[in-house]
Structures are given as C-alpha cells and as structure tokens.
Amino acid sequence: MSATTGPATTGTTQYVPAQRRVTFGGLLRSEWIKFWSVRSVVITMAAAFAAVVGFGVLLPFAVGTQLQGPGAREGLDATSVSLQGAAPASLVVAALGVIVIAGEFSTGMIRTSFVSAPRRLGVVVAKAVVLAVTVAVVLGVAVFLAFFLGQAVLDRNDAGVSIGDPGVLRAVLGNIAMLVGVAVAGLGLGALMRNSAGAICTILGALFVLPLLLRALPESWGGPTIREYYFANTTNNAITVLQNPEYLGIGAGLVVFVVWVLVLLGAGALSAKTRDV
C-alpha cells in the first residue's frame, strides 16, 4: 500500500515535480478569471445594471406627471421610486448566480474545477465571494446612480429626497444587500439543482410567484407569520424608507434573510461536496 513498493519493483525513480499547492487566494483568482471570461455572464451583469439604472430614471418621470394637486406627495417614498429597478434586477442576478455554477455542471467544466481543487468546498466558497463582491460593486454603482438620477428627475417637481435624509442611505444600501443576497441564493440553488433552467425557474417562482400566493394564506393558517419570515419578504422594510408593519423590521429582516441565503448556499455546497460529478 505504501509508495515504496512501486519504484522498487520497476526500478525507475518516480518523477517528483514541484508541488503547486491550491490556495484560497488562487481559487479566488481562478473564479475571477472564469467569471469575466464567459460572455453570457458579462451580458447578464450588464442587463442587471441597465435594469437598475433604466427603471431608476424612467419611473421618476412617470411618477412626476402624477404629482400635481394637493396631497399627491403624501405617502410617496421617493427613494423607492428611484430604486424600483432593483426588483427586476434581482431576477437577473438570481439567474446570474444560478448560471455561474449550473453552467459548469451542464458543460462539464465542473469536472475540471473539481479535479483542480478536489476538496470542492473552496471552489463553491470562492465562487460565492467573487459573485457577491462583483454584484456589490457593479450593482452598487448602479443603485447609487439610479438614486441620484431618479432624485434629480423628481426634483423637477420638488419631490426628491437627499441621501442625507433619515433612512435614505440605509434603504439604498438595503437594496444592494438584497441584490447580493439573492445572487448568492441563486448560486446555492444552482449548485443544488445543477440545471440552469430548473434552478432559474425555481428561484423566480420563489421571488415573485410565491409571495403573491402567500398573500392568500388565511390568518388561521399562520399566514402573517409565514409572510413575515418568507425569504422574499424579509428585506421588504430594508429596501424602503417607509416602513410596513406587516413585515419584519430592518435588522430582524436582514438577519432572517442572511440565514435563508446561507442555508441555500450551504445546501448547495454540501451537495457539490458529496455528490458524484
């Protein structure tokens, strides 16, 4: 069983190469190269950026036309108006998270990834870090851009708010956190399901269809509690300035959201670690 039996029987000295060890930094660099070298990923990223900025400019124009007359501005969350693009963008980044890993499973690339780093977990974690940082930076820029452009448009009707106003910066950052979390959740689901189409449909249903269905849950079935703690609803108050008491508060909501994301990522990582490829 020991290595000593081999060379002895053949009479040949075994080739001993320089040992190139896998490091987490190396895995991060590798995932960074992979992320930016597939066209579909770059296009998806650009689409999410366009959605955030595009809606951030268009919606304030649309809302601005309705701001005539007394009392029209009451209950208006000017911050939310300029950040409406984050909702469609969350769909796009969820899909992005899915394809970053499910695309490897469908093309066979995952075998190269796991032969290069056979402990596997580092690959999934490095992917999550690269995805989270990229979404945070690129869509962070987009969210701030949308906010400032949107407020400039609303200011023409004197309806804009300043980034320094109470709760505004927090809501802007809340949207960025939501986008990052949804992207990482997509990655976890992609690792779990290994199939882009299936995982994208599942997460879109989870983000947009299920919340609508949950609204129909009667109180006797625990409807309000389920609605509060359900994944897609946990950030409802973190992304807006105006608060809705039906949902979890900002801090509690973000904590529950992070738990959801980490559970999905953990399940995906465990599946990647233990199942055959």
Partner 1 sequence: MIEAVGLRKVYGSKVAVEDLSFTVRPGIVTGFLGPNGSGKSTTMRMVVGLDRPTAGQVLVDGEPFAQATAPLSTLGALLDAKAVHTGRSAFRHLQAMAATAGIPRSRVDEVVDLVGLREVARKRAGGFSLGMGQRLGIASALLGDPSTVMFDEPVNGLDPDGILWIRHLMKDLAREGRAVFVSSHLMSEMALTAEHLVVIGRGRLIADETVQSFIDRVHPRGVTVRSPQVQELQDVVRGAGGTLTPTGDGGFEVVGLTAEVIGDAALRAGVALHELTTVRASLEEAFMELTAGSLEYQAHSTGPGAAPSARTSTQLPRAEEEVAR
Nearer to partner 1, 39 or 218 (CB): 39
| Only segment of 117-125, 149-157, 221-229, 242-250 that touches partner 1 (CB under 8 A) | 117-125
- Nearest alpha-carbon partner for 143 in 132, 155, 151, 154: 151
Binder of partner 1 out of 46, 62, 72, 112 (CB under 8 A):
112
- Nearest alpha-carbon partner for 190 in 117, 103, 132, 259: 103
Decide if residue 33 touches partner 1 (CB under 8 A).
Answer: yes
Quickly count: other Cβ atoms within 10 Å of residue 229's Cβ: 18
Question: Minimal distance in Å, beta carbon 264 to partner 1?
Answer: 23
One-letter amino acid at 184 equals V
Nearer to partner 1, 24 or 61 (CB): 24
Question: Minimal distance in Å, beta carbon 195 to partner 1?
Answer: 16
Decide if residue 101 touches partner 1 (CB under 8 A).
Answer: no
Tokens 């940082």 -> residue: 133
Nearer to partner 1, 20 or 164 (CB): 20
Q: Measured between alpha carbons, how far is 247 from 228 in angstroms, rounded to an integer?
A: 5
In DSSP notation, 118-132 reads TT-HHHHHHHHHHHH
Task: Give the CA angle between residues 266, 271, 273 to the nearest 5°.
Answer: 95
Question: Minimal distance in Å, beta carbon 107 to partner 1?
Answer: 5
Binder of partner 1 out of 62, 66, 116, 222 (CB under 8 A):
116
Decide if residue 46 touches partner 1 (CB under 8 A).
Answer: no
Decide if residue 34 touches partner 1 (CB under 8 A).
Answer: yes
Binder of partner 1 out of 50, 57, 58, 109 (CB under 8 A):
109
- Nearest alpha-carbon partner for 89 in 176, 165, 153: 176
Binder of partner 1 out of 46, 61, 62, 107 (CB under 8 A):
107
State the alpha helices, DSSP H only, in the chain: 5-10, 24-36, 39-64, 78-82, 86-107, 109-116, 121-155, 168-193, 196-204, 210-214, 223-229, 250-274
Site for partner 1, rule CB under 8 A: 1-3, 5-7, 9-23, 26-27, 29-34, 37-40, 103-104, 107-112, 114-120, 274, 276-277
